[in-house]
Structure 1
Amino acid sequence: MFSKTNNKALPILNVSEVQQKLFDFDDSGRENRNNGQRNDLRKSNDFQSKLDVGNYKHPEIKISDEYANKYFMDENGIIHSLNPICPHCNSHNVVKWSFYGRKVISEEYCGEIIIRRYYCKKCNKTFMTDLKDQFDFHSNISNGLKEKALKIKELNWSSLRDISKYYKIFNNIDISYETVRKALIVVDGNEIDYQIGELRGYYGYDAQWVKINKKWKFRHAVYDIVRKMPIAELFSDEDTNKDVYYLINKYIELKDRTCIVTDTKKGYDKVMRKLKFKRHQYCTFHFKLNLNKKVHDEILKYKRKIESELKKTYKNETKTFIENKVKEELKPIKKEMGYILQLIYYLFKEESFEKANSYINLIKTNMVNFPDFIREYIVEYFFPHYKSYLYYLEKPYKGKLDRTNNKTEGYFRATMPKGQKRKFRTLNGLVNQVYHRGNGLINNQIEKEEKLKNSNPSRFIR
């Protein structure tokens, strides 16, 4: 199932936003901070708790105003909690135990800090001053830096090695690209919830093949075609109608289900009726694609038949001569097929649902002149639900509902180009790469929405 861990991304200092900080430097008043502090040191299994405070050479650190109500620093430079509570049993019956040295990297400070450690008399366990507002558990990199790095990843899709170089350029820190990879894992599981907020009721659904460690998987996505943003994604081993129902039902509420566009795969119509969409639009491009393939396959059959007969007739002629003869004989066939396809496809150029319905009668009248394979295909696959190809022309949905699923497919191409679909070794790596890219596109689109909203507020009134 889908979940997001907080702020697990890479720090980088090339975004000009102001981040909250926990520590500041102050070069004034450097003093030896031992002052008998060794007397407070207790036995601990953690060797870092035995740090010699007197060897601490960094400048004086101050708690910033942002966190002054949670922490304070004593005269020895040790950071305490104002209200220490045991995280194991929630007891206030705690005493000072020792201190802990921790290396940290933030926007203004890079070095070691000394943190107070406490002992709980109730559960007999120790704990430290909690700095989770600024640093994740087991992380020495500030959340502010991580947040900036996440934005860099979304902005230009930098490679792991490039981001590792950014560390060196902006922070003067050497860090491996493998560490960068681990830091950029922000999504666990096989689902992505982009949490884009308001939905407009018009969607596209599609599935894409992706290869992970030489095994093919399916990437399912539901897309808001009005806001031009992905809503959610699911990665699964199979492409089943159960996956389609699960994804849409989980991330789109019933009240927001107005219209959806899909390809012509068998079973989608039943799923969309079960999900109670008002309209399920079939992609007209896929209809054309399927019919064009039928025509292409039939022309190939004609070509092979003609070629075989010509070779028997002109046994001594060259290959080029035969090819030219085949082309000449195929010309009238291709011309006839092209005219028939043009007659059918003109249906989708009509300007209203009523005119398109009337045009259906014209197609039926001319069907006697169609080749058998075209007539059979239209009767079996088109006429039984031809209205599903024309809902985009109905007045309530015109201008909002697309006649093709090109926007969803365009999103697939933008976030997972064909050349990269086979390069991933783990599902976790693929999911997070898609998440970063999808989130980057969402942020760009939100900026465009804000600009349009400021220039034309009435356009965004529903």
Structure 2
Amino acid sequence: INGLEDILLYMYNQNKCLPFLYLEDGQYIFIGNYKDPVRHDETCEIEDNSFQIILPIESILDKNYFVNSKGVIEYRKPHCTKCNSRKIIKKDSNFKELFLEPGVPIKVKVKRYYCKKCKKKFQVEFEKYYDKFSNFSNSFKDNIIKCRQHGWMSLRNIKRQIKDWFNLDFSHESIRKALIVEGEFYYFNEYVKLSEYYGYDEQCEKVSGNWIYYLVLFDLVNNVPVASMLSDELNMNIIKNFIDVSIPYKDRTAIVTDLKPEYDDIMKELKFVHQHCTFHLEKNIKNNMKRKINKDMQYRRFELKNTHPEYSDYQLDEIIKEEKKEVKDEIWEYIAEFMTLFKQDNLDDAIEYVNFLKEEIKYYPQHLAEYLKDNFFPEYRKYLRFLEEDYKEKLECTNNKLENFNGNTMPKFEKKTYRTRRGLWSALMHKNDGWIIRRNEDLTS
């Protein structure tokens, strides 16, 4: 049994008596009609549904607490919680209501103290297990956090879930506070042994009318996040400093990013081998082709309307729709042929295929041929780093693992959900933890 709450819960289940680690000449004290069996004080009756649980006399709970001869929990080495002075006077006791992890409500007696130095009063608090002014334990609050580790759930639905699980009415404010992740808006995974192969990406989210940028570094070999950060602005210096701080120089080999031009200079300065994501290349090509096709079809429709004034708008739309499909299907076939380049077994085969494409480019549709000549062939080696012998089977040609992680931690349908930067960060961190938990389960299963 580990932890005060586990001890309390164990003894509660055994004999409705609060627990002990070591009992010195004491006996179990059983509850009688919800009364204090030690003092037999009628004013100590509990009118609510909580169980009044009395600890064994002189029992020792742990290194910080013990139970005195009247069944009251005291500090073993009391000191003022306000000024840390040990010049204190023991006073009477209070009943304190606590909820154990399964939602079991109990009441215990805790000692009150008076500090002669700062003139303040205080009582026994279980700081390690219960936050200040909270009746619900930290382990109980972990159940609330679990609701957010695997996807979005509103405070209202979490409240209903707790009601179904434990038959407890947990307030919205208590749930909100339990979900808050305090501290700076920077995360570093101190438990991962860095593989030297990473993916980098950023996303943006609008919170209270302002753009917030979410920067992520991901370990491609271990399939876990390395570091993440929220920033009010985004520029080369912020990106460079984020990566530089998060990854020591000795752990830098290669990194995958999308195709933003500024990444080249950043990765060169940080001494990374820079692989451009081929998924983003294909995506950029198709988006570019769609724009060109749409523009061509606008001219084509205008031309048809002038040469065939007898055509109705519906007829024109149908003709353009059919022609657009034919053009798109043809270009998409050539794109598929081009993307075969990244399925080659080794670098020599890939370079040979590039030479083949350069010969075949004259047969490609004009728009696609122009794009590849201007944007791909001059720097094609940046897309083939993953086939070089030094990086093979560790470096990947896409950033899909990181894209998958981002899709799970910040899916599109959840965007515009968060009202504060802290709320956004808390949600991201909970789902970040959920990802790591699932990853560890996959490794052990």
TM-score class normalised by the smaller sequence? 0.7 to 0.9
Q: Is 1:311 aligned to residue 308 of structure 2? A: no
1:78 to 58, 72, 82: 72
1:116 to 111, 114, 120: 111
Preserved contact between residue 188 and residue 428 of structure 1 (Cα < 8 Å): no
Q: Map of 1:6-405 to 2, 5 A cutoff?
A: 20-22=6-8, 24=11, 25-26=16-17, 28=30, 31=36, 33=38, 54-55=43-44, 57=46, 58-62=52-56, 67-107=61-101, 110-154=105-149, 158-277=153-272, 279-323=273-317, 325-326=319-320, 334=328, 337-338=331-332, 340-368=334-362, 374-405=368-399
Change (3 A) 1:129 1:322: closer
| Greater Cα offset, 59-68 or 243-252 | 59-68
Which blocks of at least 5 consecutive residues in structure 1 are unaligned? 1-16, 36-51, 452-462
Shift of residue 368 of structure 1? Answer: 4.8
Cα offset for 1:446?
0.4
Find the aligned partners of 2:91 and 2:116 in 1 and give their Cα distance: 11
Tell me if structure 1 keeps the 8 A contact 2:279–2:398.
Answer: yes
The residue type paired with residue 55 of structure 2 is I
The count of residues paired between Structure 1 and Structure 2 equals: 418
Contact 1:202–1:258 under 8 Å retained in 2: yes
CA RMSD of aligned residues (A): 3.3
Residue 96 of structure 2 contacts residue 108 of structure 2 at CA under 8 Å; is this kept in 1? yes
Q: 8 Å contact 1:196–1:231 — kept in the other structure?
A: no
Deviations 1:104-156 (A, max 9, x none): 21248524333223334455544433421222222221223223443354256
Conserved 8 A contact 2:38-2:70: yes
Single out whichever of 224-233 and 420-429 deviates more from structure 2.
224-233
Cα distance change on mapping 1:288 and 1:156 into 2, 3 Å: closer
Q: Residue 6 of structure 2 aligns to which amino acid in structure 1? A: Q
Q: Given the superposition, is the C-alpha separation of residues 283 and 20 from structure 1 closer, same or farther in structure 2, using an over 3 Å criterion?
A: same
Q: Letter of the aligned partner of 2:70 in structure 1?
A: N
What is the aligned-residue identity percentage?
A: 33
Distance 1:368-1:68 versus aligned 2 partners, 3 A rule: closer
Q: In the alignment, does 2:416 pair up with 1:422? A: yes
Structure 2 letter corresponding to 1:344: F
Task: State the alpha-carbon separation in 1 of the partners of residues 151 and 309 from structure 2.
Answer: 62
CA positional deviation for 1:64: 11
CA distance in 1, matches of 2:44, 2:279: 72
Query: Does the CA contact (< 8 Å) of 2:64 and 2:77 recur in 1?
Result: yes
For the 8 Å contact 1:22–1:63, the answer to whether it is kept is no
After the TM superposition, which residues 406-421 of structure 1 pair with which residues of structure 2 at under 5 Å, given as runs? 406-421=400-415
Displacement of 1:65 in angstroms is 7.5
Please tell me the residue identity of whatever aligns with 1:237: D
**Distance in 1 between the 2:130 and 2:148 partners?**
20
How does the TM-score come out when normalised to structure 2? 0.82
Task: Read off the aligned partner of 2:422 and give its amino acid letter.
Answer: N
8 A Cα contact 1:347 1:360, kept in partner:
yes
Contact 2:213 2:231 in 1 (8 A): yes
Amino acid at match of 1:28: F
Deviation at 1:321, TM superposition (A): 4.2
Distance 1:284 1:179 in 2: 46
Q: Distance in 2 between matches of 1:329 and 1:143?
A: 64
Tell which deviates more after alignment, 420-429 or 340-349: 340-349
User: How big is the shift at 1:377?
Assistant: 3.5
**Alpha-carbon distance in 2 for matches of 1:193, 1:63:** 46
Q: Evaluate the alpha carbon distance shift between residue 53 and residue 143 of structure 1 in structure 2; reply closer, same or farther with a 3 A threshold.
A: farther
| SS at structure 2 position matched to 1:20 | helix
What SS does the aligned partner of 2:205 have?
A: strand
C-alpha separation between the residues in 2 aligned to 1:395 and 1:317? Answer: 61
Amino acid across the alignment from 1:180: I
Partners of 1:155 and 1:307 lie apart in 2 by 49
Hey, what's the Cα distance between the residues in 2 that align with 1:284 and 1:76?
73
What's the CA shift string for 1:395-432, capped at 9, x where partnerless? 23222222111222222222222222012211111211
What is the deviation of 1:33?
4.8
CA distance in 1, matches of 2:281, 2:60: 60
Letter aligned with residue 131 of structure 1: F
Alignment counterpart, residue 439 of structure 2, candidates 427, 438, 445: 445
- Residue type at the aligned position of 2:226: I
